[in-house]
Structure 1
Amino acid sequence: MAAEIAEQPVALRATLEALLPRREEIVAAFVGRRHVVFSARGSSDNAGIYGRYLLETHAQVPSGLLAPSVATHYRSRLDLSDTLVVSVSQSGRTAEIVQAQEWARASGAATIAVTNDAASPLAVAADLALTTVAGTELAVPATKSYLTQTAAMTVIGLALAPDPDLESRLADVADAVEAQLSNAGRLDPVVDLLAGPQQRIVTGRGLLMGTALETALKLEETCGRPVRGYSYADLRHGPISVVGDGITAVLVAAADGPLRAPMIELADDLRRRGATTVAVGGNASFAAACDVSTGTITTTERLAPLVAIVPMQMVIERVARRLGLDPDKPAGLSKVTRTDATVASGPR
């Protein structure tokens, strides 16, 4: 896991070099469509959540998430003729996602597959395959495959809504990731805190929501302890009542954007309730509002998810080792996930 985290700048640059020239193909796949729906599980689903927010806030394209069971179990007869379905899977071999894509095509959708294997069933069957260049990923927890998937989401957003300024900023993201990797020493207080006995929650919102959920997933699967990931809006709608002493709250934010101030307010509120708070990303004011910080990240909100996950990947790998666990091989997990998917043959 540590080696693959370190390989992310190279993987990111290679993926952008491979996918940015394919924007016209993405536009062609969207012709005649009004909506985009993302289909994925696990870390890939968290990348899709970022894609959904980016398309709705940047490209102004109505977007959502497909529940694969609608295809594989309920076999709903939906008219998807105005929809582009983007299926995201590191391996391209997760049966449920492959079958959901087959169902989507039979339901009239155009399909794009985002995968790290151009020869996978998902890629071969899609109308358009966008292959990330993460290289071989041996550790079970997704790191560089997740980051390159988020890069693919950014490319889709730029294809549907060209923005020279955003594209210019995207060129600097790999350097920002390298900067995070070179400052591992500042993460010691966060590692010490998350290796402790406290209960943990992770929260964010908007474009960083997928990053918050990915952080929670990685903490849970790699460190073997229950973690809840919340939208901060959902957290405020009830669960915040149980926050107090013995709770560590990880808050994920960007340095700019409309959610910066509310995240600082949330940090203040959680600390008043007795929680210990960790700032991930954000500016100096956000870091100061929390007990400890992974360091500020100045990358603009629309691209911050490509950078903000990196310090927490490093933290989680170290926490797992501190707890005597193997972060590369969490107990009971495998690289290709099999749910209980059944064959879906499309509308009938």
Structure 2
Amino acid sequence: MSTQMAVEVAEQPAAVRRTLRALTALRPAIRELAAGRRQVLFAARGSSDNAAVYGRYLLETHAGVLGALISPSVATHYRARLDLSDAVVVCVSQSGSTREIVDTQAWARECGAATVAVTNVDGSPLAVEADLALVTQAGPELAVPATKTYLTQLVAMAVLGTAIAPSLEDLDEELARVADEVERLIGDPGGVGAAVEALRDAAYTVVSGRGLMMGTALETALKLEETCLRPVRGYSYADLRHGPISVVTSGVTAVLVAAPDGPLLAPLAGLADDLAGRGATVVGIGGDARFGAACAVHVPGPELPEALAPLGAIVPAQLVVEGLARKLGLDPDNPRGLAKVTATDPHS
């Protein structure tokens, strides 16, 4: 019997197509709103924050636009007054009802920012109160773990980036292939079963990626931890190299996520060799043949350029998480202690 999470993973190709149609039409409005502003700031929590990490990297590496993540607590707890007249602030919440993010958006406008909401719920407070709303078209998501809402947030980030930097529109042909790639990965989940077995027996798990794939690594770690109830740490490649790698030994499973090209592919393959040499079981998602050969278990990823690879690479990770939860006798649709709308501590 299929879980709701598996059903919603399978709905992602259609969700991507709908979202692309809806949001690419808003490119002129995005350009107009961002005109004359030199930086883009993102505010989000949880999975939405991981989507924002991708948006930031895309803008900085391919659009020449300064991006950054801002902490909502600066607005909601410290109530700091910042000059944001040079900024576009993008607030990301699948429900559009996370109070902290709604309040952060209002604060950003008071500080002079132009505001963009990325949400899956038209008419939500976040969408209504933004200068411009990018409403993803994932449809209702019933399973608690975000799958199709997360992927359509990534689509929104890609549309945002290509709108702000028209030179990025040369990615349009590849962007149009994303839904087909997602469909292919769902239909041919090679390596997913072996990855589930490797993670089932892990005493401890680390997940790592770098650059444009950093958000994918963090989202994979989050999903493994919250859905499979295992202790998992998500690290950037650099942070893992800096010190925590010293505790990697037998009994550790390391999940590495990589794009099929780009300047960070070779270093990640080298990291896979290093981790294996320390006794870890290395599970690789994505990458190329060299990367796959360095991993004990390899789950193929999308055939997309690095700038768009995160839109496909999260799919095999989702399949691994759903399969592992079932293997552990857990309900992936309703992880213990989680709710669909993010709630943080009261701030007023």
Which amino acid in the other structure matches residue 214 of structure 1?
E
Who is 1:35 aligned against? 39
What does 1:250-329 align with in structure 2 at a 5 Å threshold? 250-329=255-334
Q: Please say if residues 182 and 302 of structure 2, whose CA atoms lie closer than 8 Å, have aligned partners that are also in contact.
A: no
Who is 2:110 aligned against? 106
Consecutive unaligned residues in structure 2, runs of 5 or more: none
Q: Please say if residues 190 and 300 of structure 2, whose CA atoms lie closer than 8 Å, have aligned partners that are also in contact.
A: no
How many percent identity over aligned positions?
64
What does 1:239-254 align with in structure 2 at a 5 Å threshold? 239-254=244-259
Who is 2:226 aligned against? 221
Who is 1:11 aligned against? 15
Matched, 1:81 2:85: yes
Distance 1:314 1:296, change over 3 A: closer
Distance 1:60 1:218, change over 3 A: same
User: d(CA) in 2 for partners of 1:185 and 1:206?
Assistant: 25
Deviation at 1:88, TM superposition (A): 0.4
Deviation at 1:28, TM superposition (A): 1.0
Alignment partner for residue 333 of structure 1, among 316, 334, 338? 338
Q: Please say if residues 121 and 127 of structure 2, whose CA atoms lie closer than 8 Å, have aligned partners that are also in contact.
A: yes
Which amino acid in the other structure matches residue 48 of structure 1?
A
Matched, 1:208 2:213: yes
Which amino acid in the other structure matches residue 279 of structure 2?
G
Who is 1:231 aligned against? 236
Counterpart secondary structure, 1:228: strand
Counterpart secondary structure, 1:184: coil
Q: Please say if residues 250 and 279 of structure 2, whose CA atoms lie closer than 8 Å, have aligned partners that are also in contact.
A: yes
Matched, 1:157 2:155: no
Counterpart secondary structure, 2:316: helix
Q: Please say if residues 80 and 108 of structure 1, whose CA atoms lie closer than 8 Å, have aligned partners that are also in contact.
A: yes
Q: TM-score, normalising length from structure 2?
A: 0.97
User: d(CA) in 2 for partners of 1:259 and 1:197?
Assistant: 26
Who is 1:184 aligned against? 189
Deviation at 1:73, TM superposition (A): 0.2
Q: Please say if residues 95 and 341 of structure 1, whose CA atoms lie closer than 8 Å, have aligned partners that are also in contact.
A: no
Q: Deviations over 1:292-326 (max 9, x none)?
A: 01114321100000000000101100100111110
Alignment partner for residue 128 of structure 1, among 125, 132, 143? 132
User: d(CA) in 2 for partners of 1:196 and 1:244?
Assistant: 14
Deviation at 1:77, TM superposition (A): 1.0
User: d(CA) in 2 for partners of 1:285 and 1:37?
Assistant: 36
Matched, 1:47 2:58: no
Who is 2:151 aligned against? 147
Runs of 4+ in 1 over 6 A off after TM superposition: none
Q: Please say if residues 301 and 316 of structure 2, whose CA atoms lie closer than 8 Å, have aligned partners that are also in contact.
A: no
Distance 1:296 1:149, change over 3 A: closer
Q: Please say if residues 141 and 327 of structure 1, whose CA atoms lie closer than 8 Å, have aligned partners that are also in contact.
A: yes
Matched length: 343
Q: Please say if residues 208 and 235 of structure 2, whose CA atoms lie closer than 8 Å, have aligned partners that are also in contact.
A: yes
Q: Please say if residues 7 and 144 of structure 1, whose CA atoms lie closer than 8 Å, have aligned partners that are also in contact.
A: yes
Deviation at 1:15, TM superposition (A): 0.1
User: d(CA) in 2 for partners of 1:282 and 1:174?
Assistant: 19
User: d(CA) in 2 for partners of 1:104 and 1:78?
Assistant: 8
Moved more, 156-165 or 266-275: 156-165
User: d(CA) in 1 for partners of 2:52 and 2:227?
Assistant: 21
Matched, 1:22 2:15: no
Q: Please say if residues 283 and 298 of structure 1, whose CA atoms lie closer than 8 Å, have aligned partners that are also in contact.
A: no
Which amino acid in the other structure matches residue 220 of structure 1?
E
Q: Please say if residues 251 and 267 of structure 1, whose CA atoms lie closer than 8 Å, have aligned partners that are also in contact.
A: yes
Deviation at 1:251, TM superposition (A): 0.3
Deviation at 1:185, TM superposition (A): 5.0
Consecutive unaligned residues in structure 1, runs of 5 or more: 344-348
Q: Please say if residues 72 and 341 of structure 1, whose CA atoms lie closer than 8 Å, have aligned partners that are also in contact.
A: no
Which amino acid in the other structure matches residue 284 of structure 1?
A
